[in-house]
Structure 1
């Protein structure tokens, strides 16, 4: 068999694989720094570039169509290793003492949930514990981008070369998915240096575990002229409240994550966006490529269904955060600097950090829901009107959870909780049934 026949008989996908491998090994032309920037690895040094090349090599040998998310975790660990954040034994002891006191104070304000001791996590431990949820959130976007990339290249390829694209589809998906996973790992690694506790970003990242990251406490206390011991107690109060709520309302975490999936699964990257991106980029300008990939250009405008899913998700998250704020404020009333700390946290949540902004452009989803202040005021009005026990009964079942309209006007819910006669709706019926069952009267017959 001559060389020409041998070339014709070779698998086109194998040819593409070998070409990429030659480039990754340095035998072909490739600007590795530009590629690292495109992957979101800012300020890439030789070690970071070498790690990225290793991830891409692994992607070429991945026999599955599934994204290898281990590249994301390795990138997060690489980012954290540059500033692991050492914590002294005295700081750990002080944080534990603050947590023990916070647990006692919180017991006086709510009977919701029952949580064990506060966990003290390092930045790396937080990243490892939360990465599965970040992957779940980001997976639909990564899949959509990989599909669009494959489709765009297929449409732009002459028919005579279509066999190569068809055979190389899996390779393209794996390489594109790996680049996305590395970007996600970069964001999570940066977030690990910003977050204060498990519930700091609103999403239920740690199930119902209560955890703080002591190494990041100075990010809140620097410039805040209040005693650090008060900050520790306040932070522990808020984290315990967040974890206890999710432990009490077992259905809540599933509802939040389902809402995120409903939104994310509606993201379908338009092939035209890929083509427009290719036409706009100057290959000699890596900064331009980096900016286009990071500014959310590939995420299309939200559909009507996505807007509805996002509105529902934001309402749920605002109610969660608002309840936590309300309970924390009551429990922290003994702290002289409680209001100053709470305001600092509100400002911090309103602005977010660089990693939060990077995540929102990468996935198209803001970590901070709107209407947090209104939701906090709603829960305070309910507490003032009916007390904490009836307030917390609204978390007994997902049918009882207030709506966006209730946040605007809590009078109907307050009237229902007081037992006042109002025109019954589904929530009133559910509340009546709940209270009757607790008193031993059995379920309500809705047919009467």
Structure 2
């Protein structure tokens, strides 16, 4: 990992021995002094790490991300958006919402539309990243401790806590670097495909959008309205489909809970860690030795997540295309540019691969887009959008392979003909809320979450 926290790095072999006696040895007093300095340095590092507890030190993650953004240059990337950009974003969002009203039965979901800098994005989305990253880091960091023999655990004693702190710092450093990279590229708060920001808040990043627009033969104003429409469409889903936000995040958590670490690599890992050098812990953790092995349960969770994300992105793709229609001459080119951005490994794929261990594939998004377009053309937007009223009505991975068969089957389902989508969404929201309250009140329900989060 680059940019280790607090300036710690590997020892420079060319400088070793500069202060040693000519014979190459080291006096006991000098060795004691160096040990004292090392312990003092380590204590200072841990005390400066902040009050963050848990498997990831989010104080360090935030510090590193903001420091990297502040030092990256590039105009306003790391700094607050201007009043002009705020006004342009609000105007674009207002126009996009008007157009979307005719393209979907789901009402506007955003209560506010704001212009974010990259620094804003880091600060506003960090709580959601904490929910996504904690299960992964907890599984990885806890696996090697659990694998130690009982005698070793007893002998290690308080050192395990210290190593846990340094492990949290290592994960925090990794997260901070990844978030800084993502924050300098992402265009909207929902581009990753997940509801990362505050509820009912649409957010665009004007400085990043300006960089994205360079080289495109499309006016900046068109790009801004097109992206505002995509952001607003996402917010309509995340606000008015109450089960969707929880289902997406819970499926990522389910994937994390299934992580299994190859404990046979522990001996090799132990040989790479130098207790006197905190940086070696981060290097060992990022060496790949503790890389999780994918289990069948994880493959199933990954399949569900990819399908659900594809359905979200495909629906947004179709609805925005219908909304902007011929109003934006460059809409077709922008639509294809964003598709290629995903297909070649855009921010979403990079971030999930780095932070959560998921390599999301955008290949299903085109299939989902074709399915939603077909359903809308054959059954109307009321029936198309009514499918979001309950997870059991949603197309499956198999349906993406044969959209025509799904559409024909849908025509035979009389129960959906009489469905009031908005009323059903309200009933689902109430049921989800009551279910969440019951789970919070009952201990021991975490073990059952995996079985409930898939469809």
Using structure 2 for the length normalisation, give the TM-score: 0.74
The verdict on how the C-alpha distance between 1:58 and 1:356 changes in structure 2, with shifts beyond 3 A counting, is farther
SS in 2 for 1:210: strand
Q: 1:171 — aligned with what? A: 162
Residue correspondence of structure 1 range 245-256 to structure 2 within 5 A = 245-256=237-248
Whole-Å separation in 2 of the counterparts to 1:290 and 1:435: 54
Gaps of 5+ in 2: 12-40, 73-77, 425-455
| Preserved CA contact (<8 Å) 2:170 2:281 | no
Deviation track 1:225-254 (CA, whole Å, cap 9, x = no partner) reads 111111011000100001111111011101
Alignment correspondent of 2:31: none
- Partner in structure 1 of residue 186 of structure 2: 195
Structure 2 Cα separation of the partners of residues 63 and 139 of structure 1:
12
Are 1:89 and 2:87 an aligned pair? no
Equivalent position to 2:47, from 43, 47, 57 = 57
2-side partners of 1:385 and 1:75: how far apart? Answer: 51
Per the TM alignment, residue 149 of structure 1 is displaced from its structure 2 partner at its CA by 4.1
Secondary structure of 1:168's counterpart equals: helix
CA contact (8 A) 1:294 1:362 kept: no
Aligned twin of 1:136: 131
How far did 1:354 drift?
7.0
Once structures 1 and 2 are overlaid, which stretch shifts more, 220-229 or 137-146? 137-146
Q: CA deviation at 1:73?
A: 1.9
RMSD of aligned residue pairs (Cα, Å): 3.5
Change (3 A) 1:369 1:253: farther
2:209 maps to 1:217:
yes
Structure 2 vs 1, CA of residues 388 and 436 (structure 1 numbering), >3 Å: closer, same or farther?
closer
- The equivalent residue for 2:120 is 125
Deviation string 1:79-118 (CA, Å, 9 cap, x unpaired) is 2222415644333322222211111111111121323242
Question: Paired residue for 1:229?
Answer: 221
Q: Judging changes above 3 Å, is the alpha-carbon distance between structure 1 residues 68 and 225 closer, same or farther for their aligned structure 2 residues?
A: same
Partner of 1:119, secondary structure, is: strand
**For the residues of structure 1 that align with 2:194 and 2:310, how far apart are their CA atoms?**
11
* CA deviation map 1:291-331 (0-9, x unaligned): 87547542222100000111011101100000000001111
SS of match in other structure, 2:157: helix
Deviations 1:341-390 (A, max 9, x none): 11111111122347953651343113554411111111111111112111
The one-character-per-residue Cα deviations of 1:190-228 (angstroms, maximum 9, x if unpaired) are: 211111001100112124421111121123211111111
> Structure 1 residues 122 and 320, CA, compared in 2 at 3 Å: closer, same or farther?
same
Q: Which runs of 5+ in 1 are unaligned?
A: 1-23, 26-30, 36-50, 421-427, 440-448
Tell me which of 258, 265, 271 is aligned to 2:257: 265
- Does residue 238 of structure 1 match 2:230? yes
Q: Indicate conservation of the 8 Å contact 1:68/1:177, yes or no.
A: yes
Q: Offset of 1:256 from its aligned partner? A: 0.7
Deviates more, 1:120-129 or 1:269-278: 269-278
> Quick one: structure 1 residues 54 and 318, their matched pair in 2 at CA, closer, same or farther if it must change by over 3 Å?
farther
- Equivalences for residues 177-188 of structure 1 within 5 A: 177-188=168-179
Match of 1:104 in 2: 98
The size of the alignment, in residue pairs, is: 382
173, 178, 195: which one pairs with 1:204? 195
The TM-score with structure 1 as length reference comes to 0.75
| Contact in 2 for aligned 1:150/1:173 (Cα 8 Å) | no
- Which of 353, 364, 379 is the matching residue for 1:386? 379
Is 2:419 the counterpart of 1:434? yes
Tell me the residue number matched to 2:436. Answer: none
Structure 2 CA distance for aligned equivalents of residues 276 and 202 of structure 1: 38
Q: Distance in 1 between matches of 2:317 and 2:418?
A: 29
Q: 2:292 aligns with which of 291, 300, 318?
A: 300
Counterparts in 2 of 1:289 and 1:62: CA distance versus 1, 3 Å: closer
Q: Displacement of 1:168 after TM fit?
A: 2.0
Question: Is the aligned partner of 1:70 residue 2:59?
Answer: yes
- Give the Cα separation in 2 of the matches to 1:218 and 1:438: 41
8 Å contact from structure 1 (residues 187, 359) kept in 2: no
User: CA 1:429–1:67 in 2, change beyond 3 Å: closer, same or farther?
Assistant: farther
Residues 188 and 204 of structure 2 are in contact (CA less than 8 Å); yes or no, is this contact kept in structure 1? yes
Work out the CA distance in 2 between the residues paired with 1:118 and 1:63.
31
What's 1:325 paired with? 317
Q: Secondary structure at the match of 2:395?
A: coil
**1-side partners of 2:45 and 2:183: how far apart?**
21
CA contact (8 A) 1:296 1:362 kept: no
Structure 2 residue 334 is the aligned partner of structure 1 residue 341 = yes
Tell me how far apart the structure 2 counterparts of residues 54 and 76 of structure 1 sit (CA, whole Å).
21
Partner of 1:403: 396
Q: Are residues 89 and 412 of structure 1, via their aligned partners in 2, closer, same or farther at CA, if it must alter by over 3 Å? A: same
Could you tell me how far apart the structure 2 residues matched to 1:293 and 1:252 are? Answer: 33
- Cα deviation for residue 75 of structure 1 reads 2.0
Aligned pair in 2 of structure 1 residues 437, 388: CA closer, same or farther (>3 Å)?
A: closer
